[in-house]
Structure 1
């Protein structure tokens, strides 16, 4: 009996010791080379070194903060939010909101919004023309919102510096959206075509810049949608202008050749990764034994490989070349060490991640939008009535190319180009782009 008990105790000690060894190695081992490489990509500093950050302007979109006090007031509100995050219980769902000691701007009513040109408006000029008096009143009532939205043109990037520190701080992106677009159309209809074209190209350049330099996925997608609407309005103005009319200088900058920045999704993925499996969601244990089923650090290591794949340098060239993507990401590998030391994290790592390929495709569609705008600008500047349009299209600059599956073609009426989009947002993307007047 004595020997039997002694053997049982030894066996139990061996089991406990083995589990302890498995736990200790799983919890404290260094990241694999693949994980380390992915983490390095996700932790690189991609924030632009110069220029104004649009995030404070977006954050206070509903509050009349004076322009010259914007940074000061945002710094104070950020400090307030961070102080609140520090005592917030993990997993709290309440989203942070902006607070400042200034009056709130009048909101756009449902009736107001019905008059505005949305990002996917197929005929912005026609809509404004049909409701010209109502639109004039709308733009007058919300002149300050319009001014502040136009002021985004002075910003170089839109960088959320609250990530990792608390619940997602999402500005009210839609609070003033559509005003700038509608005002441009109103200027054109009211007989100010040069002003409208200059403003249209400034809007394209602004949305392009903010889209390329946003560190949140929602911000990147919002600016992509606004950019597409801005380009479509520009082509409408061009089609309705005097044939061969000179273009404002802002148009050349707006439709400069596409670059890797126009398709790069890494800054947004860094923002997504900063939040996933973060202490914001699960708390920050003071000691390893407080959360023995979950290691935030190791969970992030497991997820890093999938998120980091979006940031790999090898992805830039095919993205920019508009090649079809085949991003087949496998769930992060795991072993017995992960299961023993981080069982909850291992389960979390198996759950569905963002639709990486769908977002990358949308980036390619955004670049294609810029190219179609550049193509219309090129056709306007290189006229040749003796040459059929298909032959002229063949002479366009090499960078204004489209993949074969986009099926660039001239419509039956000869006044529009059709360009297929790959993305699907639950509704059909606009595919028809008006040709310049007298092309």
Structure 2
């Protein structure tokens, strides 16, 4: 194996470490969509799910019906609803205010789910308990979005402290998913969750007097993350384990002719290890986009002679990975913007430009400085993630939209 591939594998296969201390958010998220599951039975159900999937034959269908939890036959599923707010939209409060009765009716049957989402804020990490291979099921992460509408409704109905406490609870969970998880999916869900809740936080604070205190539960939540906390490396290590494990259990016709597992691991590592490189560390410190090269290569090369399938898999997997890191970097910038909003509330001035100039440099400066919007009543920061199409993330300043 070429030295570059060996080095990449070493980055993606870290030495075993002690399991994290504290609650595993995976457990709550895996059973998030089931009502009234006793806490005492949760571990037993999850262990049964893990064993059942491990016992599936390699050629078994991996449809949702096959990979669903055994809880599906024992407990009621949380009802499907249509709610007005989503993490990537900008008008959550306006949508709820347009028809609060509809939002309240939709949320009436979601109280159990909302309580389960809130409880996740006490967990310290996310570790998937299933085997890291193609049988790895995906939890219902999108259920986490439903609390956003509940927080907005609480504020619209005059329960602003409840709304703020809920937002802070969700951001605690989001930070754990983003920085303490072992997969790309939970990390990026955490980043999206941060963006949605920071936007809602700003909208709520814009409608409250600047002297309105935040709940005690918000203490220490809105603090700009360290560059290390925005690293995609831990999530990529989990992703590599999953893709590599999938190759080991997926039947391939004439596999001995078209798939060389060790060589494929080396090729995959080259396309993924950029997230764990010194170059990525340096880019995070400078807050510039983390990119690593992935030159498209033909499968008609010598190292693919007995590994055509492996070369194809590695080529498919590579190009999109570095963009995942951009969403984490954007979440970090949005947390910095949220901390700046709280600083502005604590240091109110009539002139927003003067207030911004007096803000601590670590909040307002850098590769992506915080800027006043053209309306003079908003604050914005640039985005890197390609789904934002280069649009800045903009939120209203505190106290600029007080509802009388």
- Quote the Cα distance in structure 1 between the aligned partners of 2:348 and 2:285: 28
- Structure 2 match to 1:304: 269
Asked whether the equivalents of residues 45 and 70 of structure 2 are also in contact (C-alpha less than 8 Å), the reply is: no
> What corresponds to 1:259 in structure 2?
226
Deviation at 1:137, TM superposition (A): 2.2
Unpaired runs of at least 5, structure 1: 1-30
Question: Is the alpha carbon distance of 1:204 and 1:430 closer, same or farther for their aligned partners in structure 2, counting shifts above 3 Å?
Answer: farther
**1:382 and 2:347 matched:** yes
**Conserved? CA contact 1:120–1:430, under 8 Å:** no
Matches within 5 A, 1:285-434: 291-330=256-295, 338-351=303-316, 353-385=318-350, 388-401=351-364, 403-404=366-367, 406=368, 408-425=370-387, 431-434=393-396
Deviation at 1:220, TM superposition (A): 1.8
Residue pair 2:133, 2:249 contacting (<8 A) in 1 also:
no
- Which protein is bigger by CA-based radius of gyration? 1
Question: Is contact 1:216–1:268 with CA below 8 Å preserved after alignment?
Answer: yes
The one-character-per-residue Cα deviations of 1:262-296 (angstroms, maximum 9, x if unpaired) are 311112212221232533563399xxx97143211
Task: State the SS of the aligned residue for 1:417.
Answer: strand
**Alpha-carbon deviation of 1:438?**
6.0
Cα offsets for 1:130-151 (capped at 9, x unmatched): 2222222222222111111212
Displacement of 1:430? 6.5
Greater Cα shift, 146-155 or 186-195 = 186-195
Secondary structure of the equivalent of 2:55? helix
Output the aligned Cα RMSD: 2.9
Rounded to whole Å, the distance in 2 between the matches of 1:374 and 1:46 is 33
**C-alpha distance in structure 1 between counterparts of 2:369 and 2:360, whole Å:** 18
Return closer, same or farther for 1:373/1:46 CA change in 2, 3 Å cut-off: farther
Change (3 A) 1:333 1:308: farther
The question of 1:35 aligning with 2:35 is answered: no
2:53 aligned with 1:81: yes
Specify whether residues 268 and 326 from structure 1 end up closer, same or farther in structure 2 by C-alpha distance, changes over 3 A only: closer
Change (3 A) 1:340 1:184: closer
Q: Does 1:94 align with 2:59?
A: no
Confirm whether residue 59 of structure 1 aligns to residue 30 of structure 2: yes
Aligned residues: 395
Q: Which sits farther off after the overlay, 151-160 or 98-107?
A: 98-107
Looking at structure 2, the residues matched to 409 and 69 of structure 1 have their Cα atoms a distance apart, in angstroms, of 51
Report the Cα distance in structure 2 between the residues aligned to 1:332 and 1:271, rounded to whole angstroms. Answer: 25
In the alignment, which residue of structure 1 is the partner of 2:243? 276
- Report the TM-score when normalising by structure 2: 0.87
Match status 1:68 vs 2:40: yes
61 and 194 in structure 1: CA distance in 2 versus 1, 3 angstrom threshold: closer
**Is the 1:153–1:202 contact (alpha carbons within 8 Å) kept by the matching residues of 2?**
yes
Please, which runs of 5 or more residues in structure 2 have no aligned partner? none
Q: Match of 2:363, SS?
A: coil
Deviation at 1:224, TM superposition (A): 1.3
- Evaluate the alpha carbon distance shift between residue 416 and residue 80 of structure 1 in structure 2; reply closer, same or farther with a 3 A threshold: same
Report the counterpart of residue 242 of structure 1 in structure 2.
209
Deviations 1:149-197 (A, max 9, x none): 21211222222232434423111222x2333212222222222222322
CA contact (8 A) 1:116 1:179 kept: no
How far apart in 2 are the matches of 1:419 and 1:311? 26
Q: Secondary structure at the match of 2:395?
A: strand
Distance 1:333 1:401, change over 3 A: farther
1: distance between equivalents of 2:299 and 2:17?
Answer: 30
Residues 63 and 102 of structure 1 are in contact (CA less than 8 Å); yes or no, is this contact kept in structure 2? no
Provide, for residues 357-404 of structure 1, a one-character-per-residue CA deviation record: whole Å limited to 9, x for no partner.
32222221111111111110111111233xx32232233223324545
124, 128, 142: which is aligned to 2:110? 142
Structure 1 position 50 matched with structure 2 position 21: yes
Q: 1:59–1:204: structure 2 CA closer, same or farther, 3 Å change rule?
A: same
TM (norm. structure 1) is: 0.81
Cα distance in 2, alignment partners of residues 124 and 366 from structure 1: 18
Alignment of structure 1 residues 209-220 onto 2, 5 Å: 209-220=176-187
